[in-house]
Amino acid sequence: MTGATGFVGGATLSAALAQGYAVQALTRREQPPRDGVTWVRGALSDHAALEAMCDGADAVLHIAGATNAPNRAGFEAGNVDAVLNMIAAAKACGVKRFVHVSSLAARRPQLSIYGETKLAGERLVATSMLDWTAVRPPAVYGPGDGEMLELFKMARRGLVFLPPRGRFSAIHVDDLARLLVALIPAGEQCIGDIYEADDGVDGGWSHRSFARAIGKAVGRSIETFSVPAPLLLAGGYIDRLVRRSGAKLTPDRARYFAHPDWTVDTGKRPPRALWTPQIDTREGLAETADWYRSEGWL
């Protein structure tokens, strides 16, 4: 498993262990011992470490990737080169099953370098000759997530700034983790498929309705303001100029956020016999707010 020390990967690691799997997980830093986990030191560019991680495995879960980077090279390294390296390691070790985490952004590669490179990664997996399945998550939230934290902070203050009007789908990290683990032994019906998984809300959420759900989770009645696309893009350039490689709102992300429809294709949801979402998003947001408070994040 790659990405096991991250947000989605950490939840997936716990879900895999709960199902009785022994996991060999890549890490760049020393990790505390954990029953059922063999930590393999290395990076996604380290071929020897990747082969050591894949050695003796029945399946590969490739979760790691670059969601934000200062330039194209960073996205290429995290979302294309890393996929090539993982495919090569799986083949070298005779591992046929390959579960790949992509993104809904791959549907609109022209909008962002992120989406372009995630699609390139999907295409590499699709031509790998492995028994592959890819998952395109929408917005992922839950305890431990740093990406949506700012929305919760704004909601607590009573005013939430949003992208231009649009809709998107969401999924709790634990539901996504259950899907990824369920795909490990998946049969022929899943090989070669790309799934778009969400919380089961047809049509997704408007930005405003999701913000209000967050407001309820933090106990506040909120006001919202939709930032026009040109202003959002300008903010991306300013943030990159000021915070450079530490920028959170880059031009790439601004173009992604400004797109009006990031809802899943209901025809591409996983088979119900394999997986269905279990966590109601309003309840999940309340749980997430409680976790942020308990950790002193909110």
User: How would you write the pLDDT of the chain (298 residues) with one tens digit per residue?
Assistant: 999 999 999 999 999 999 999 999 999 999 999 999 999 999 999 999 999 999 999 999 999 999 988 889 999 999 999 999 999 999 999 999 999 999 999 999 999 999 999 999 999 999 999 999 999 999 999 999 999 999 999 999 999 999 999 999 999 999 999 999 999 997 777 999 999 999 999 999 999 999 999 999 999 999 999 998 888 888 777 877 777 666 677 778 888 888 999 999 999 999 999 999 999 999 999 999 999 999 999 9
Q: Are 208 and 42 in contact (CB under 8 A)?
A: no
DSSP letter string, 154-221: HHHHTEEEEPSS-EE-EEEHHHHHHHHHHTTT--GGGTT-EE---SS-TT-EEHHHHHHHHHHHHT--
d(CA 265, CA 116): 19
Predicted pLDDT of residue 246:
67
Instruction: Report phi then psi at 81, rounded to 5.
Output: -60, -40
Domains and CATH numbers, the chain: 7-294 (3.40.50.720)
* Single-letter code of the amino acid located at 93: C
Predicted pLDDT of residue 256:
85
Predicted pLDDT of residue 74:
94
* Single-letter code of the amino acid located at 211: A
* Single-letter code of the amino acid located at 226: S
pTM of the model: 0.95
Q: Are 154 and 122 in contact (CB under 8 A)?
A: no
